[in-house]
Structure 1
Amino acid sequence: MISRIIKHEQFKSEILQNSRTLYVYVPPGYDDEQFRESRYPVLYMQDGQHAFYADDAGGSWDIHITADRLIAEGRVRPFIIVGVSHISNVRISEYLHPMEGNESIQDVESKGHEYERFLIEEVKTFVDRNYRTLDGPEHTAVQGASAGGLVSYHLAFNRPDVFGLVGAMCPYFVSVDALTGKETRLGEKYTQKVPIKIWMDVGEYEGYTVMEKHVRAFADGLIDMGFQPGIDFWYYYVPDSGHSQKDWANRVHAPLLAFFGDIGQPERGELFGEECVALHDSVQRVNPVIFYNSGFVETDTDGVYEVEDPSIIRVETDGRLIPLREGATTIVYCKGKIRTQLSLTVVRELPEWVTVDIRVDVPPHTPETDYIYAGIPLPRTGEFEFGGAFQVPRSFACEFRISRSMNIMETAVDGSEVPFRRFKATDGLKLCYCVENWNDTLKETVR
Structure 2
Amino acid sequence: MNRRTLLATLAATPLAGSVLAQTPPGPVPASGRLIELTDVASAHVGARNVTIWLPPGYEAGTDRYPVLYMHDGQNLFDPAKANFGEWGVDEHLTRLIANGQARAPIVVGVWNTPLRLREYVPADLITALPDDIRQTLLGMYGGAPLSDGYLRFLVDELKPVIDRDYRTLPGRSDTMISGSSMGGLISLYAMMKHPQVFGAAACLSTHWPLRLERLDGDALAQWRETVVQTWSRVIADGLPDPATHRLYFDRGDETLDQFYAFFQTRIDETVRGAGWGPERFQSLVFPGAEHNEKSWNSRLDVPLTFLLSPTRVAS
TM-score bin (small chain): 0.7 to 0.9
Cα distance in 2, alignment partners of residues 70 and 82 from structure 1: 18
Residue aligning to 1:384? none
Query: Tell me, what secondary structure is at the counterpart of 1:189?
Result: helix
Aligned partners of 1:146 and 1:210 also within 8 Å? no
In structure 2, do the counterparts of structure 1 residues 120 and 219 end up closer, same or farther at CA, with 3 Å as the change threshold? same
TM-score by length of 1: 0.55
In 1, Cα distance between equivalents of 2:258 and 2:119 = 18
Which residue number in structure 2 is paired with residue 26 of structure 1?
Answer: 54
2:120 alignment counterpart: 95
Which structure 2 residues correspond to residues 273-312 of structure 1 after superposition, within 5 A? none
Q: What are the equivalent positions in structure 2 for 1:199-348 lying under 5 Å apart?
A: 199-207=248-256, 210-229=259-278, 231-262=279-310
| 2:205–2:257 Cα contact (<8 Å) kept | no
Change (3 A) 1:6 1:209: farther
Deviation digits for residues 200-235 of structure 1, max 9, x if unmatched?
001110337751221121111100110001x10011
Bigger radius of gyration among the two: 1
Partner of residue 41, structure 2 = 12
CA RMSD of aligned residues (A): 2.1
Q: Distance in 1 between matches of 2:311 and 2:208?
A: 27
Given residue 67 of structure 2, which amino acid in structure 1 is its aligned partner? V
Match status 1:141 vs 2:141: no
Q: Once structures 1 and 2 are overlaid, which stretch shifts more, 20-29 or 213-222? A: 213-222
Partner deviation per Cα, 1:236-260 (whole Å, 9 max, x = no partner): 1110100001111111111211121
TM-aligned CA deviation for residue 104 of structure 1 = 3.5
Question: 1:148 & 1:8 partners in 2: Cα distance?
Answer: 20
1:110 aligns to 2:145 (yes or no) = yes
Larger fraction in strand? 1
> Which of 102, 105, 110 is 1:84 aligned to?
110
* Residue aligned with 2:87, SS: coil
Query: Partner of 1:45 in structure 2?
Result: 70
Note the C-alpha offset of 1:22: 0.5
Q: d(CA) in 1 for partners of 2:311 and 2:59? A: 28
Counterpart of 2:9 in structure 1 is: none
For normalisation by structure 2, the TM-score amounts to 0.77
CA separation in 1, counterparts of 2:185 and 2:210?
A: 12
Question: In 1, distance between residues paired with 2:115 and 2:268?
Answer: 28
Q: Which residue of structure 1 lines up, in the alignment, with residue 247 of structure 2?
A: 198
Q: 1:155 to 1:53 in 2, by over 3 A?
A: same
Distance of 2:269 and 2:255 partners within structure 1:
20
Instruction: Give 2:86's aligned residue.
Output: 60
Higher mean displacement: 174-183 or 145-154? 174-183
Aligned residue pairs: how many?
258
**Cα displacement (A) at 1:122:** 1.1
Is 1:173 aligned to 2:208, yes or no? Answer: yes
Matched to 1:39, the amino acid is R
For residue 200 of structure 1, give the secondary structure of its aligned residue in structure 2.
Answer: strand
Q: Offset at 1:262?
A: 4.7
CA shift, 1:21, in A, is 0.8
Cα distance change on mapping 1:177 and 1:263 into 2, 3 Å: farther
Give me the whole-angstrom Cα distance separating, in 1, the residues matched to 2:270 and 2:101.
31
Give the number of the structure with larger relative contact order, counting CA–CA contacts within 8 Å between residues 6 or more apart.
2
Secondary structure, in 3 states, of the residue corresponding to 1:71? helix
The answer (yes or no) to whether the contact 1:174–1:210 under 8 Å persists in 2 is: no
Give the counterpart letter for 1:212 in structure 2: A
Gaps of 5+ in 1: 265-447
Consecutive aligned runs of 4 or more in structure 1 exceeding 4 Å deviation: none
Q: Give per-residue Cα distances to partners, 1:350-399, cap 9 Å, x unaligned.
A: xxxxxxxxxxxxxxxxxxxxxxxxxxxxxxxxxxxxxxxxxxxxxxxxxx
| Inter-partner Cα distance in structure 1 for 2:305 and 2:98 | 13
2:101 to 60, 69, 75: 75
Instruction: Output the CA distance in 2 between the equivalents of 1:53 and 1:23.
Output: 10
Q: Which residue of 2 aligns with 1:334?
A: none
Higher helix share: 2
Deviation at 1:106, TM superposition (A): 2.4
In structure 2, the gaps of 5 or more residues are 1-29
- How many angstroms apart in 2 are the aligned matches of 1:129 and 1:22? 16
* 1:193/1:19 CA distance change after superposition, 3 Å: closer
Once the two structures are TM-superposed, the CA of residue 2 in structure 1 deviates from its matched residue by: 4.1
Q: Deviations over 1:389-434 (max 9, x none)?
A: xxxxxxxxxxxxxxxxxxxxxxxxxxxxxxxxxxxxxxxxxxxxxx
